[in-house]
Amino acid sequence: MSDDTGFNLPAAPGVKTLKGCRARPFVPSDRAAVRHICCETGFMGKPVDPLYSDREAFADFFTGYYTDFEPEYCLVAESAAGEVVGYIIMATDFKKYPVRQAWVVMRNLPFVIGKMGLGRYRKSDYVFLSWLLRKAGKETPKAPKKAAHFHINVLPEWRGEAGRHLLISLLKSIPKWGVGLVYGQMQIYESRRAEKLFKRFGFQVYDTREVTKFERFGVKGVQVATLVRDFSAS
């Protein structure tokens, strides 16, 4: 196995490998690419627009804290052509995260209200916001307390290789960062069983919940899983 900064990492069993991808630390100029990928994959790995059309608010809600407050714990996958094709973003400060994340939400509120007033929000946008306010908390699986957490997203055509590079880079970085208990939450469904890859690297399923936000599109059976690994015991 080569270092994760190289381009020749061998494929894990059953994973198709593309040519030319590496994982590296996030830099401020990657912020726009991270936000773009977030929106391009926000609807079960596809563009989020049918679910929620306000890309700026969506990207800020799901990536703003990580890139703005803890960028040193973020990683990106970069193709040989220099394109950012995926990311892992992490929050290690579990004490400050809730307050700072609330601030990220609040900084978007005036713009969201303004767009509503100008008639730029569609019915589907209001349905998504209603789900977010009324059901999201209930449909979020349990997670361990006092633990760091991460999000991972990769453009569809790079999902196998880039996701694997990012995960291996994360596993190498966590001991250097001095992080102990870590969890990630991800959607799992029939055509996407990402938790299998994480299990290969020592993560265990902590809890799962079925999520209903896609049911209005005729999609049922989608779950969100919390996967946990304690690095302090390694």
Residue 220's pLDDT is what?
85
* Cα–Cα distance for residue pair 99/93, rounded to 1 Å: 11
* Cα–Cα distance for residue pair 92/150, rounded to 1 Å: 9
Domain architecture of the chain: domains with CATH: 21-179 (3.40.630.30)
Please list, residue by residue across 163-192, b when 16 or more beta carbons sit within 10 angstroms of its beta carbon and e when fewer do. bbbbbbbbbebbeeeebbbbbbbbebbeee
Q: Could you read off the pLDDT of 42-53 as tens digits, one per residue? A: 998 899 999 999
Residue 207's pLDDT is what?
95
Residue 3's pLDDT is what?
34
126 Cβ contact list (under 8 Å, min separation 6): none
Residue 194's pLDDT is what?
65
Mean of all residue pLDDT scores within the chain:
88
φ/ψ of residue 208, rounded to 5: -135, 150
Say yes or no to pLDDT of 231 above 80.
yes
Q: Could you read off the pLDDT of 165-208 as tens digits, one per residue? A: 999 999 999 999 999 999 999 888 765 556 777 888 899 999 99
Six-digit token string for 55: 């890309």
Say yes or no to pLDDT of 17 above 50.
no
What number of CA atoms fall less than 13 Å from residue 63's CA on the CB side?
29
Token pair 């991460």 is at which residue?
150
Q: Is 100:61 a contact under the CB 8 Å cutoff?
A: no
pLDDT average, residue stretch 127-142 = 94
